[in-house]
Amino acid sequence: MCGIVGYVGPKQSSSLLIEGLKRLEYRGYDSSGIAVNTPQGIKVGKAIGRVRVMEEFIQTTGVFEGHAGIAHTRWATHGGPTQANAHPHTGKTKTGHTIAIVHNGIIENYIPLRKYLTDKGHVFESETDAEVLAKLIAELYDGDLEKAVQSALRDVRGAYAIAVLCDNEPHTIVAARKGSPLIVGIADSAYVVASDASAIIAHTSQVITLDDYQVVRLCAGVKDKVGDGGPWAVDFRTTTIDNVCVTQEVTKLEFDLEQIELGGYKHFMFKEIMEQPEAIRNCLRGRIDHREGRVVLGGLSGLARDLVRARRFIISAQGTAYHAGMIGEYLLEDLAKIPARCEYASEFRYRNPIIEEGTVAIAVSQSGETADTLAALHEAKDRGAISLGVVNSVGSTISRETDAGVYLHVGPEIGVASTKAFVGQVAVLTLISLYLGKRRFLSDEVVRSYLKQLEALPDMVSRVLEQSDHIKKCVEQCIDRDNWLFLGRGYNYPVAIEGALKLKEISYIHAEGMPAAEMKHGPIALIDKGMPVVFVATKGSQYEKVISNIEEVRARGGRILAVATEGDDNIHQYADAVFTVPDIAEPLQPMLTVVPLQILAYHAAVLRGHDVDKPRNLAKSVTVE
C-alpha cells in the first residue's frame, strides 16, 4: 500500500527520501513522488513506475536541494496510476504560499469538500482525495501550518496518515494520523517521519508512534541561520487535532537494518522462507517452561482467568493470516476445548455478529495495520468481547488497541507474500491453545509432549528447507500448467488453501485450495491429464482417506505432488513427486507442511520470470477496507 517518508534535518533531504522510498518499495506501489522545500520554493517531482525512475529524474533536474522534504509511493485507490494522481499534491494559500502533502488512507467526504474548495476558486489537477486535503489545508492557512492542518483534519472523515510542507515554514514538517500508521524517528539533529519503520531504521531506532487524531510538528533548522555548517536546533511537539498538547513516549525499534536487507539472497521471500527455523526459535524463546511443563505468555497473564473461563473464541483476519486463524480455530477446539471460529474480518464486521458474554476476539495480523482486521476488532470490542492481538509488528495499531496479546517475534517481514509470519502466527496460536489447554483439560504429560516437539520444530523445518532444489525440479515439470489444485484434510486443509494462495499471488497461476473430500463435490470436473494436484498427505488420523482422494485424482490423469511424512514408503506408489516433512503430532504439522508449498510457489514464480518481491497489484499491508 501507499508509503510515506519525510525528512527534516541538516542533510540534503532528497537523497534520504529516495533511500526511504526504496525501503518502502516492498509494500507495493505504482507511482512515486517527492516534494522538497528549496530556497526557490517547494519543488515537486513525480514518476510512474519504479522509484529508480524518480531517482533518475531528481539527479538529472538537480533542483531538489533543501533540508525538509516529503515523499510517497502510491498504490492507486481514487484515480488510476498517473503522474497527475501521484503524490505529493499541492494547494495555494490565500497569501500565495504553497502547501504540499503526501497522504495514505481514504478521505470519505472528499466529494463535498472538493465542491466546497472548487467554489472557493481552487483548481484540481488530479482525481485523488489527497489533493482535496492539500487544498483544504491551503484554504485554512493563515501563517501557521500546524493550526491549518489541525483545522483541516477536523473537517475530514475517513482515514489518513499525512506529512505536509509549506514554503513559508521551510524547516518544518507537520504530520498527523488517523487509522493509518505513522511513526517519527528522532535522529541526530533530524527527524524522519514514515508510515513504516523500515524507512526509519537506517537513521535511528528511537521513535514515537502517533495515535489517532494526533498532529506532530517537526522543526529542524540552523540556529544562527548562517549556513549549513551551523548548530542545528531541533524541536517537536505533538497535539491533538483540537490543539491539546500530548506528551509522547519515545520507544525503541526492535529490529536492525540487517534484518530488512537481502543479505546475499535474491529475494526477500526466499530469505524469509529460509529464516523460518530461526523465526520459530525467536517466537518460542522464553515461552516454554520445561521444569513446570507449561507455556509462559507474559502478555496474557493479566487476563489469564478470563481467558480460561472464555465461552467462545472468534478469530478474525485476512489472507494468509486468516489461514493461520483457521488453524487456530482447530487448535483452540482440539487442545483447549473451547468453541472457536475463524472469520474473514471484512465479513465479520458487517454481518451484525452476536457476541455473547465470555467471548474472546483474536485479531491475527502480521502488520497489525490491516484495515478490515482492525475494523473487526473494533466491532468485537464494541459488542463487549475481550480482545487479543496475535501480531508481528511491535507497536502497531492492532497491538495497541487490543486488551492483551502475544507478539510473533519473527522479525520484520518484507516479502509481500507472507511466509515466516504465517508460521509465527500458527506457533503463537499453538502456544495460546496449550496455555489454555493446560489450565483446562490437557494432562501434564500431553502438554510436555507438545512442548518437546515444538522445541524440535526449528530443526525439523531446516530438514524441509534442504529439499528446495528437489522441489524446484518437480515444479519445472509442470510449470506450463495454468491450473493447480491444493488439497488437504483436518489441520492440513488450511495449509492447502495457503499453498494455493502463495502460488496465485506470486506466479499468477490459477490455483484453488480446498478440503480434499470437497473435490468430489464439483471441482473434480476440472481434473484432466497432467493437471498438478498437490496433496498434503502426512501420517495422521485421515491418512487413508487422503490416499483414497489421491486415487480419485490419479484415475483421472492428474499429476500428484504429495507432501508426506519422512519414512512413508507407501506414498511413492501414488505420487509423481514427494516432498517430505519429519513426523510430528498432527496439531503441529501445519508449521512443517506449509514449508514445501511456500518453496514450490517461490520456484514457480521465478521459473515464470516474475519479480517475486513485487507481485503485480499486491500490497504488503492493506490499510484500506
Question: 297-310 burial by CB neighbour count: b if 16+ within 10 A, else e?
Answer: bebbeebeeebeeb
Closest CA to 269 of 583, 597, 623, 617: 597
Size of the site for ligand F6R (CB under 6 A): 14
Q: Does 598 bind ligand F6R (CB under 6 A)?
A: no
Closer CB to ligand F6R, 238 or 367, in the complex: 367
Closer CB to ligand F6R, 133 or 417, in the complex: 417
Contacts with ligand F6R, 401-430, as mask; x by CB under 6 A = ----------------xx------------
Q: How many CB atoms lie within 10 A of CB 431?
A: 24
Closer CB to ligand F6R, 276 or 418, in the complex: 418
Which triple of cell numbers denotes residue 186? 528522532
Is the separation of the CB atoms in 425 and 324 below 8 Å? yes
Given 43, 438, 539, 620, the catalytic residue = 620
Q: Considering only 61-69, 80-88, 200-208, 364-372, which stretch makes contact with ligand F6R by CB under 6 A?
A: 364-372
Closer CB to ligand F6R, 497 or 571, in the complex: 497
620 catalytic? Reply is yes
By CB under 6 A, the residues from 305 to 334 that bind ligand F6R are 318-321
Which triple of cell numbers denotes residue 553? 485424482
Which triple of cell numbers denotes residue 214? 494526533
Closer CB to ligand F6R, 293 or 319, in the complex: 319
What sections of 62-211 are H helices per DSSP? 110-119, 130-140, 145-155
Pick the binder of ligand F6R from 370, 397, 433, 580 (CB under 6 A): 370
Residue nearest ligand F6R, Cβ-based: 319
Distance of closest approach, residue 23 Cβ to ligand F6R, in angstroms: 17
By CB under 6 A, the residues from 497 to 516 that bind ligand F6R are 505
Is the separation of the CB atoms in 560 and 533 below 8 Å? yes
Phi first, then psi, for residue 23 (nearest 5°) are -70, -20
Distance of closest approach, residue 181 Cβ to ligand F6R, in angstroms: 11
Give the span between the Cα atoms of 119 and 220, in whole angstroms. Answer: 36
By CB under 6 A, the residues from 254 to 283 that bind ligand F6R are none
Distance of closest approach, residue 368 Cβ to ligand F6R, in angstroms: 7
- DSSP lists the bridge partners of residue 99 as 91, 166
Given 2, 166, 283, 342, the catalytic residue = 2
By CB neighbour count within 10 A (0-12 exposed, 13-18 middle, 19+ buried), where does 589 fall? buried
529 catalytic? Reply is no
Pick the binder of ligand F6R from 32, 90, 367, 433 (CB under 6 A): 367
Is the separation of the CB atoms in 33 and 44 below 8 Å? yes
Pick the binder of ligand F6R from 14, 172, 209, 366 (CB under 6 A): 366
Is the separation of the CB atoms in 618 and 28 below 8 Å? yes
Q: Does 621 bind ligand F6R (CB under 6 A)?
A: yes
CA dist 253 to 211, 341, 406, 516, 608, Å? 17, 33, 17, 43, 37
Catalytic residue numbers? 2, 620
State the residues that interact with ligand F6R by CB under 6 A: 318-321, 365-367, 370, 373, 417-418, 505, 621-622
